[in-house]
Chain A
């Protein structure tokens, strides 16, 4: 290793001068009083509480509605950097949709020997019910949140493809709204690409995916598990801003072969259902019989082409962590191009050589459960105690195929406001991607998650992470 700093600092170039995207912000910041900014930060928190931008913590008391901490310093990306990123994201999302179509039809990629069959056939996220079914417009992942991490000037990696029901977009929007209210002067000086039309774009994109033969303006509804779900705020926010109905399973019923919602005037058919309920709970007749969150028979309506489900059932196979390691092959197989955005190197512990390497280097690696999410059930080697390492070692040996391992990434840092002024903290980025037959639409920016604890590399909100407004500058 050279003696270059270990982590890429997005704010400051070596020597300390701000990098170009931050020049305007830093000029403004230098004229500001830290105490005033900290008061503003407290205002922001009150604003979030009053607006009810909270999330429920699983297992916590019902009264425990928490705020995701918000940091008032924006994360800034140049227009040029963003343009490059969007090309990579678009390529990847196209490949994911082509992959899903293939996996549920001829499975050419398996026949070609590029992906082992067992990874598909024995995968819990693979839904046999989807075989041979073509969703309206052949779109599987209507909404994707691609998690990116940055490690250098031109180094971005895809950490995860959230192809099921990515959340967090409401925070992207409310963070911007908050910044506009608190620092209007910044936005008149610095030209930031807008994100506020996301709900309109979402509605448009979903409408373009309506079943063939849907007359006039499609009826769109957002399906939520209910007010106790941790992301309920987001569900109601999106329904509200996209002009969609917010429904629960108990509002829905299959009537005359259509999915319909119970209104004050009787049952009204729905054309597009943006569901924020997992596959397994979607239809008690076809999946988990004990589910009360879904609608009996909805999958039969889907099969007969009577409704669009966004995202399609069975998309989880594409963001499975075991499949993830094959993404470079997947991109190449379907687009004929090299992947523009690299994967994080990944060891599949199901392979004996990889397992040996992982066990030998456990204290250097991050180990994740293949089906896990949200930062639960993972091991961050460098931060783990001897005891934790030993316990994880045993788990790995018992069920190697259940794990993948990755190097501990040197996540870039972005400044946050602390009592002493600006201080670097590690971040990732989740841009939001909309897919319809009319094209792929990526909102400039996304959700920046930040590990607020000094030195921490875990950005999940369930593990003490916060969020920031993300600016993409106009070129």
Chain B
């Protein structure tokens, strides 16, 4: 496979994953605004932070409101990470790697883009927001379904999956990074109603509220959340899960190509650190520091993969 193709596949799925995560963030922000449990504009500011769009938004708007935050995150051309821009970037990468994709995957991606363009042609009205967000996520789920149902399990598939999990690990860590302070005060087992709303919201942002309840019952605690989103290998958006997936997919590449690269050592070290960690130890050493280290490790790993598999020049 061409190095460029591997890079195109990885980025195609990174962008798709990012668009999906942003719709989830918007959905959670919208929910908290509706419940009026906290200052909604602050909430939108932290959503912008979590999606890395705060600075760009600040250049465009003097204040943060729900309307301008949602529009910026969904479709503003000034936001290179808007949902629409991400889907367009995913589709452009898909065109670039068209020869590596099954017809179904390509068509699902192309339709996802056509549908997103249609739905986001104009600012989305508040009353249409839940429906539009759901429709967009459904489109990207169709791409993933086509990937699983129609693609060979070879290097092509592995690069696509590595892209998905690099992005997902990064996104979950960012949400934790923006919200870590909510989890900190007193580490009390029982939160105030305000805390409860905030904690729930974190879980909602990663689409994990229901799964959390299955595992932990109704009681939401900061330690429980941290355990769930960082270390729980069953939660498909946790840092441990994503890292294990990247390691597995890189392992398949090692086997298929018969070649081990520096990236393999990096991912194994990261996975080792996560397996050895406990929530208590993480909180003791500093949740924020832990998250920052993780984000930088993931970025380093992504760069190493780029070099190992000759994505560029």
A and B interact: yes
Task: Flag if B3 contacts A236 (CB, 8 Å).
Answer: no
B214 within 8 A of A: no
Task: Flag if A52 contacts B310 (CB, 8 Å).
Answer: no
Task: Give the CA-CA distance A280 to B26 in the complex, in Å.
Answer: 50
Task: Give the CA-CA distance A275 to B221 in the complex, in Å.
Answer: 62
Shortest beta-carbon distance from A245 to chain B in Å: 6
Closest to B111 in A: A50
Task: Give the CA-CA distance A261 to B107 in the complex, in Å.
Answer: 28
Pick from B6, B92, B98, B107: contact of A50, CB under 8 Å: B107
B4 within 8 A of A: yes
Interface of B, helix, strand, loop or mixed by DSSP? helix
Task: Flag if A251 contacts B3 (CB, 8 Å).
Answer: yes
Shortest beta-carbon distance from B142 to chain A in Å: 12
Chain B residues with Cβ below 8 Å from A68 are none
A181 within 8 A of B: no
B194 within 8 A of A: no
**Given the contacts A52-B95, A264-B309, A250 and B110 also touching, CB distance less than 8 Å:** no
Chain B residues with Cβ below 8 Å from A251 are 2-4
Shortest beta-carbon distance from A232 to chain B in Å: 7
B106 within 8 A of A: yes
Shortest beta-carbon distance from B310 to chain A in Å: 5
Interface of A, helix, strand, loop or mixed by DSSP? mixed
Among A49, A227, A240, A265, chain B packs the most CB atoms within 10 A around the CB of A265
Chain A residues with Cβ below 8 Å from B313 are 250, 262
Chain A residues with Cβ below 8 Å from B92 are 227
B96 within 8 A of A: yes
Task: Flag if B310 contacts A264 (CB, 8 Å).
Answer: yes
Interface size class of B (residues with CB under 8 A): 20 to 34
Task: Give the CA-CA distance A263 to B256 in the complex, in Å.
Answer: 14
A220 within 8 A of B: no
Shortest beta-carbon distance from A37 to chain B in Å: 25
Chain A residues with Cβ below 8 Å from B1 are 263-264
Shortest beta-carbon distance from B12 to chain A in Å: 13
**Given the contacts A232-B95, A247-B2, A263 and B310 also touching, CB distance less than 8 Å:** yes
**Given the contacts A49-B114, A52-B110, A262 and B99 also touching, CB distance less than 8 Å:** no
A51 within 8 A of B: yes
Task: Flag if A261 contacts B96 (CB, 8 Å).
Answer: no
Chain A residues with Cβ below 8 Å from B181 are none
Closest to A227 in B: B95
Task: Flag if A50 contacts B110 (CB, 8 Å).
Answer: yes
Chain B residues with Cβ below 8 Å from A264 are 1-3, 6, 155, 257, 309-310
Task: Flag if A265 contacts B107 (CB, 8 Å).
Answer: no
Task: Flag if B99 contacts A227 (CB, 8 Å).
Answer: no
Closest to A244 in B: B99
Task: Flag if B107 contacts A262 (CB, 8 Å).
Answer: no
Task: Flag if B107 contacts A51 (CB, 8 Å).
Answer: yes
Task: Give the CA-CA distance A239 to B1 in the complex, in Å.
Answer: 13
Task: Flag if B4 contacts A245 (CB, 8 Å).
Answer: no
Shortest beta-carbon distance from B109 to chain A in Å: 9
Q: List 20 A-B contacts (CB under 8 A).
A: A50-B107, A50-B110, A51-B107, A52-B107, A52-B110, A227-B95, A232-B95, A236-B95, A236-B98, A236-B99, A237-B98, A240-B98, A245-B99, A248-B4, A250-B4, A262-B2, A263-B1, A264-B3, A264-B309, A265-B259
Interface set of A (CB-CB < 8 Å, partner B): 49-52, 227, 232, 236-237, 239-240, 245-248, 250-251, 261-266
